[in-house]
Structure 1
Amino acid sequence: MLVLTRKLNESIQIGDDIEIKIISIQGEQIKIGINAPKNVEIHRKEVYLSIQESNNEAASTPQNLLELLKNKTPKP
């Protein structure tokens, strides 16, 4: 892990397209701004992990779920 020290209004550049800027510092809280292309998804870590968990659950759904549901539906 790379650890950098930044002051208010200073930035970190990631590649050519992503800039992370320190917007404000209040006590133990730091606000950051992120400039990145619209196609780059940016999430808080806990939200990202929740999305990953939901995706994994959806991927583990049986492939033949539609067929199973069709077989359980009463026929007229």
Structure 2
Amino acid sequence: MLVLSRRVGESIVIGEDVTVTVLDVRGDVVRVGINAPRSVTVHREELLRELEETNRAAASASEDAVASLAARLSKRPD
């Protein structure tokens, strides 16, 4: 992991087309601005993690529903 110190108004450039700028620092909160092409997805880590957990839970529920349906269908008289 690269660790840098930046002051308000200073930026770092990632690749050729992503710029991260420190906008404000208040106590232990840092506001950053990210300038990137629309093709680059930018997510807050905690929201991405939550989305992944939600997707896993939904997939698990779907698998349970499919298994339950399959069991009911196998017991169904012809």
Q: Normalising by the residue count of structure 1, what TM-score does the alignment of the two structures yield?
A: 0.71
Letter in 1 for 2:53: E
Instruction: Give the distance between the partners of 1:37 and 1:59, measured in 2 at CA.
Output: 31
The residue aligned with 1:9 is: 9
Which amino acid is 1:8 matched to? V
* RMSD of equivalent CA atoms: 2.6
1:17-32 equivalences under 5 Å are: 17-32=17-32
Alignment of 1:17-56 (within 5 A): 17-56=17-56
Q: What letter matches 2:16 in structure 1?
A: D
For residues 40 and 56 of structure 2, the distance between their equivalents in structure 1, rounded to whole angstroms, comes to: 21
TM-score by length of 2: 0.70
* Bigger mean CA deviation after superposition, 37-46 or 5-14: 37-46
Name stretches of at least 5 consecutive residues in structure 1 with no aligned partner: none
Q: Where does structure 2 lack aligned partners over 5 or more consecutive residues?
A: 74-78
Q: Structure 1 counterpart of 2:6, which letter?
A: R
Q: Which amino acid aligns with 2:18?
A: I
Q: Tell me how many residue pairs correspond in the alignment.
A: 70
1:25 Cα offset (Å)? 1.4
Mapping of residues 57-72 of structure 1, within 5 Å = 57-60=57-60, 61-62=62-63, 65=66, 68=69
Amino acid at match of 1:20: V
Q: Using the alignment, how far apart are the partners of 1:40 and 1:51 within structure 2?
A: 18
Query: How far apart, CA to CA, are the structure 2 residues paired with 1:12 and 1:5?
Result: 10
